[in-house]
Chains A and B, each alone.
Chain A
Amino acid sequence: MKKLMLTLLLACLTAVGFGQPTGSVHIKGGTVLTITDGVMENTDVLIEDGIITQIGQNLSTPSGVAVVDATGKYVMPGILDAHSHIAGVDINDASSPVTAQVKMGDSIDPNDVSIYRALAGGVTSIHLLHGSANVIGGESETLKLRYGQDQEGLKFQDAPRTIKFALGENPTRVHGQGRGIMPRTRMGVEQIIRMKFDEALDHERNREEYLAAREAYENGNGPAPKPVPRNVQLETVADILNGEILVHIHSYRADEILMIMRVFNDYGVENYTFTHGNEAFKVATELRKNGAHASVFADWWAYKFEVYYSTAYNASILNANDVNVSINSDSGELIRHLNHEAAKTVRYGSTSENDALRMITINPAHQLGVDDKVGSLEEGKHGDVSIWSGHPLSIYSINEKTFVDGVKYFDREEDPDDMRIEISPTTENEHTGFEPGRNALISGGRHFDSCMRDTEVFYLFGESSSK
């Protein structure tokens, strides 16, 4: 009963809506890994009302601003994960090879404890992707991990729209093998995309012609036109072709990566990211030539046949060939230590330490179109910061504090066994409807949220998985 009331209360508050909370904090005397401007020893970072206002030595503390002593510690930008399914209610709408009309923004679970666990790993933003069952999946949502806020409060304001495409085994298995409809092959995947692109362009033209004719008719010119109704799916696809939506393409093999770059070149689509891209290393030259990005695993391979010819050196090869590359998790576990996943690029391929850190900060920020706001420590950027006990690429370092927009959402020192069910470590809960200090709706995350899972499971359980 109490739970029900809290739910209702939450629903009401969600409907009312709130602005995102911001905070101020003066982080003093740490080793600051700026990412874009080198390493600064014994340096302060001042965040005021959610924005980094100064980075320098011995800054004075504005009145009323909390001080955090970071002496002997490392301060870095909050980590971004360009491929995640945590905080998602449903991940896949596997009902059709094209589902561009659905949105992960309608499928956010703010009570997923995975958000808190990711914050504990220094992560401040994720790209909540639709699953990979469909050639053209749903629109994704970029989130800030403001644990304790509602669905709207988790969204990353002014982040560009993004969408998920998927090539290879997943859509061919789900639709071709599972349901007996195209695509069953990589040839079919290409044609699904081309047909849908053409259909969207036709729809856009027909709709514009109809609107013009209707306007003319309303002004007394010409006959009443036959209506061309709106079509959210085709309009979304048209927005991709008009450059309004960034595309993240679930892909593995080099041939399918080349295929979709040909398709995109034919239709003028630019600025896209290959996610997983296990064979992206084979076509690094072509990726660079097309300005394409890649968001890859550090070392996952061989869990399915299309990743059998993989290498843990993938990110290093791409980086050495001047491709913008990020390391992602696609996992509620890996997301908790993306710093070490990035560190593996130093082991596998001698990537520099700063480039390794770029792969979990500024590079994914660029791939999500938010690199003007987050991904490095610079004056004017958002106060998304994590503080580490030692260098974040060392296995012995632990993230101690995580701030989003200057608000502290994780603090290891203030984390007794049950802080994860505190709604916010600030204990200022005016933004939520929760009983102070308790997340009564804590949820444990989904069992099949990872792309790693075989999509066949959802024929058994009526559930959708991703990869």
Chain B
Amino acid sequence: MKAFKQLTLTLMAICLTAGAAIAQIPEKPEFGQFAITGADIYTVTDGVIEGGTVLIDGKTITAVGQNVTVPAGYQRIDAAGKRIYPGFIDAGTGGLGLIEVSAVPVTVDANEIGEFKPHVMAFTAINPHSAAIPVTRTNGITTVISPPGGGTIPGMATLIDLYGNSPDSMAVLQRAALVHDWPSSTGGGWWDNRSEQQIREQYEENVQDIQDYWDRAFAYNEMMNAWEQSPAGKEQPDKVPDLEAMRPVINGEIPVAIAVNDSRDILEVIEWTTAMEERGIRFILAGVDEGWLVADEIAESGLPAVVGPVLSTPSHGWFNYQTAYQNAGKLAEAGVKVAITAGDVENTRNLPFNAGYAATYGMGIEEALKAVTINPAEIFGVGDRLGSIEEGKQANLFIVNGDPFEPLSQVEQVWIEGFKIPMTDRHMKLYEQFLDRGVAGERN
């Protein structure tokens, strides 16, 4: 009896120790060597491999295929009957990591003051511990663009993986694109009581301001280049921080994501960007709500487009009810390289459903899948690293028990840069806490 009691206590102690250990290091990811076996692998770039195996060694996918031998020491994960996809990429969130509660200004770090501020970097203000980040990644979204907003040039967007304890550890590209708004030539809305002529004049003035700014940036760049190439005997020019930030854009190292929605404005932007491309600038269209009206012109321009949110209403009452749902598909059909965004912050997790709607309304599942994986990766110049399941690529992928665009499916496990992330977030924790609150005690 005494021995039994001893055993019980020992067992209790073991249990408590185990529990304590878990309590001390909550939600740590696993990192190492994984072999996911038996799943249908949606590689995106090389079709579907049925019942295949994916090997992850550290941060990298080291093997993909049906006849992959699992080396010794790998943690095996049986995923028979399930599917594996590359981590989804949202190429245009509303500022995930920058905005915690949009109605509480002190928690909004997205909008710096000023009209032209290319030196402002979203990367700086990314909060790795935003409650919205785990909520997003547990739905299979592993990588996002987080852009600053406000003003004509709000600053530099950052491309981040959704796991890490510092912006540095999360960043895929600290400066992924220069965010560039475009003025509206069509008035501000129902409260805008300016005449058409006033609207036009204001628009032309705004465009001239943009051109002036770029011309200054070009001139500054030339001056700095000249000094850097032969500084001898010359006085060093003073640095201008914002114009300095424009130099890698002018040198074509960083693309410009230009936000434009109205079809007439899109055509004007295409004309402007065509002239600017001749000077070596790279452009990406963003928003493009009315792209479906000028899809051929966009395709001809060769500009890629970040489209969304798909789940939105048509931009005018007289447009067909499904235009927003069809937009991405019509652009892709015309030959535009399309990435889809949910256009959200805390509900960036709805990206798969935005893609699902685009798929249903004309884009097709395969093309919609590219629009949340390889296309955004290629648009931002990281197609060699992200966006598909291939040997040598970064291990961003997830296991799902069905079609990831279907709301009924469950995402079961997510890897981000090889980290097998804890499948928990605030929403799940509240569920666990309150599903059965218990009624036994007074204070339940």
Contacts of A444 in B (CB 8 A): 316-318
B152 at the interface (CB under 8 A from A): no
A395 and B406 contact, Cβ closer than 8 Å, known pairs A285-B439, A311-B426: yes
A395 and B431 contact, Cβ closer than 8 Å, known pairs A302-B132, A340-B353: no
**Complex CA–CA separation, A281 to B435 (angstroms):** 8
- Known: A393-B407, A417-B320; 17 extra A-B contacts, CB below 8 A, are A117-B314, A284-B437, A302-B345, A305-B101, A309-B430, A311-B428, A332-B313, A333-B312, A336-B313, A337-B311, A349-B435, A394-B406, A396-B406, A415-B320, A444-B316, A445-B313, A461-B191
B322 at the interface (CB under 8 A from A): yes
Q: Which of A138-146, A233-241, A313-321 lies at the binding interface?
A: A313-321
29 A/B residue pairs, CB under 8 Å, sorted by A? A282-B437, A285-B437, A285-B439, A300-B347, A302-B345, A303-B346, A304-B102, A304-B103, A308-B100, A311-B430, A313-B428, A313-B435, A336-B321, A340-B353, A346-B408, A347-B407, A347-B409, A347-B410, A348-B427, A393-B408, A395-B353, A395-B356, A395-B360, A396-B360, A418-B320, A420-B318, A444-B317, A445-B317, A447-B189
B190 at the interface (CB under 8 A from A): yes
Counting chain B residues whose Cβ lies within 8 A of the other chain, the interface size class is 35 or more
Chain B residue at minimum C-beta to C-beta distance from A391: B408
In the complex the two chains form, is B357's CB within 8 Å of A303's CB? Answer: no
A300 to chain B, nearest CB (A): 7
Contacts of A117 in B (CB 8 A): 313-314, 321
Interface string of B397-434 (1 = CB under 8 A from A): 00000000111111000000000000000111011001
Tell me whether chain A's interface is mostly helix, strand or loop, or mixed. loop
B304 to chain A, nearest CB (A): 25
In the complex the two chains form, is B357's CB within 8 Å of A395's CB? Answer: yes
B267 at the interface (CB under 8 A from A): no
A344 at the interface (CB under 8 A from B): yes
Chain A residue at minimum C-beta to C-beta distance from B432: A313
B104 at the interface (CB under 8 A from A): yes
Q: How many A residues face the partner with a CB closer than 8 A?
A: 57
How many contacting A-B pairs (Cβ < 8 A)? 137
Which residues of B line the A interface, CB within 8 A? 100-104, 131-132, 189-191, 311-314, 316-318, 320-322, 345-347, 349-350, 353, 356-357, 359-361, 405-410, 426-428, 430-431, 434-437, 439, 444
A358 to chain B, nearest CB (A): 16
A395 and B437 contact, Cβ closer than 8 Å, known pairs A117-B313, A313-B431, A420-B320: no
A311 and B431 contact, Cβ closer than 8 Å, known pairs A284-B437, A344-B407, A396-B356: yes
Contacts of B102 in A (CB 8 A): 302-304
**Complex CA–CA separation, A310 to B318 (angstroms):** 37
A343 at the interface (CB under 8 A from B): yes
A322 at the interface (CB under 8 A from B): no
**Complex CA–CA separation, A299 to B425 (angstroms):** 14
In the complex the two chains form, is A395's CB within 8 Å of B405's CB? Answer: yes
**Complex CA–CA separation, A304 to B321 (angstroms):** 30
Contacts of A332 in B (CB 8 A): 313
**Complex CA–CA separation, A461 to B345 (angstroms):** 26
A292 at the interface (CB under 8 A from B): no
Contact of A285 among B345, B361, B409, B444 (CB under 8 A): B444
